[in-house]
Amino acid sequence: MTGNEVTQLEHNHPLFLQASDVPGLVLVPTKLTWPENYALWSKAMKLALRGKSKLGFVDKSCVKDMYRGELAEQWEKCNAMVLSWIGSTVASELISSIMFASSAKKVWSDFKEKFDRCSLTRIYHLWAEIASLRQAPNPDCDYEESRPSLEHILQKRLLRFLMGLNKSYSNVRSNVLMKRPVVSVNEVYAIVTQEKSQRALGVANVNKDPLTMMAGRPQYNRSSRMLDLLY
């Protein structure tokens, strides 16, 4: 481009701002408040940002390094605009994390990490309702293609174990479901056993993250009778 590069931008260019693109614009009616409505909020925001040709500011397909000169400054304006739009669709207690963010992509990634519980937590609640569903046969091959299936089976065994815990171990269950990377059944069994022993001695701390008790401790052997019941 030559001359004033900003004024020569096409209307569908990610750096183009329409007269209606103003700070604080509410793009979607759904407000992000809790993990339960994150999926709906993120889907609605993606559609709205795509319609504004600004999806690239959250999926990293439009980054500042792609531009120079006044286009780089225009990117900053658009980034600030997207940050403002995100801020207008979240709960008030989340706004502070937006105000000090360097990019819309960073905010988007932080919200996804914080609120996207579509993996183990959501799967756990589904399994609690469909626990009677039959398990599919295990794959017979040891090839790399079978790895996702194997990981899925291990997750199901973990979820079955967690569903067998009574309410007094709800803090253990919650922390395990939130843990990344996913904790193995062996580790969870060790956590539960240790906490049970501490409770018997009257020294359990219910406010302590039970996963911290695993630091430096060996895993239990898979031949444990409790684990055998999961197979």
The tens place of each residue's pLDDT in the chain, 231 residues long, gives 455 788 889 999 999 999 999 999 999 998 998 887 888 999 999 999 999 999 999 998 999 999 999 999 999 999 999 999 999 999 988 888 888 888 999 999 989 888 876 555 656 665 665 555 444 555 555 555 666 777 777 787 888 888 888 888 888 888 888 877 777 877 887 788 788 877 777 754 544 555 554 444 444 444 344 444 444
DSSP the chain: --S-TTTT--TTSTT---TT--TT----S--B-SGGGHHHHHHHHHHHHHHTT-THHHHSSS-GGG--THHHHHHHHHHHHHHHHHHTTB-GGGHHHHHT-S-HHHHHHHHHHHH--TTHHHHHHHHHHSTTSPPPPPP---SGGGHHHHHHHHHHHHHHHHHTS-GGGHHHHHHHHH-SSPPPHHHHHHHHHHHHHHHHTT---TTS-GGGGGTTPPPPPTT-HHHHTT-
Q: What's residue 79's pLDDT?
A: 96
